[in-house]
């Protein structure tokens, strides 16, 4: 992705999985690594971020699903001096409740 100005981002899917709990419930996750870099002559090193998205879905009926989304952000050894101090624990967590309705 190129931004307006001298910046670009690349994102890579590192891992993902889905597990069905029962007929009405399942959970899923994916881990994404993003690299942000300047595209001009600036010599600043790229910034690397790791993010884990964790979803749980519960079917209420044929038209409604309730979901929870957790976004966990991690430090990365390539661009964070505090990486080893964080001990592979998320340094930021955001939780969201979602209500999905089928559009007819």
Residue positions counted in the chain: 104
Q: Contact, 46 vs 55, CB < 8 A?
A: no
**What local confidence, expressed as pLDDT, does residue 45 receive?**
84
**What local confidence, expressed as pLDDT, does residue 40 receive?**
87
Within 8 A by CB and 6+ apart from 100, the residues are 64, 65, 66, 67
pLDDT band of 77, cuts 50, 70, 90: confident
By DSSP bridging, strand 47-61 and strand 25-38 are: antiparallel
**What local confidence, expressed as pLDDT, does residue 57 receive?**
97
- pLDDT, average across residues 77-85: 85
Sequence ranges of the domains in the chain: 7-101
Query: Which tens digits make up the pLDDT trace of 6-50?
Result: 889 999 999 999 999 999 999 999 999 999 888 888 888 888 889
- pLDDT, average across residues 72-87: 88
pTM (predicted TM-score): 0.82
């Amino acid at each position: 992705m190129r931004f307006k100005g001298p910046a670009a981002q690349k994102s890579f899917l590192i891992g993902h999985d889905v597990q069905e709990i029962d007929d009405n419930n399942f959970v899923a996750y994916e881990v994404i690594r993003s690299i942000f870099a300047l595209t001009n002559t600036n010599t600043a090193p790229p910034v690397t971020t790791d993010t884990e998205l964790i979803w749980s879905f519960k079917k209420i009926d044929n038209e409604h699903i309730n979901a929870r989304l957790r976004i966990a952000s991690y430090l990365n050894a390539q661009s964070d001096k505090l990486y080893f101090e964080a001990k592979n624990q998320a340094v930021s967590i955001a939780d969201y409740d979602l209500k999905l309705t089928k559009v007819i």
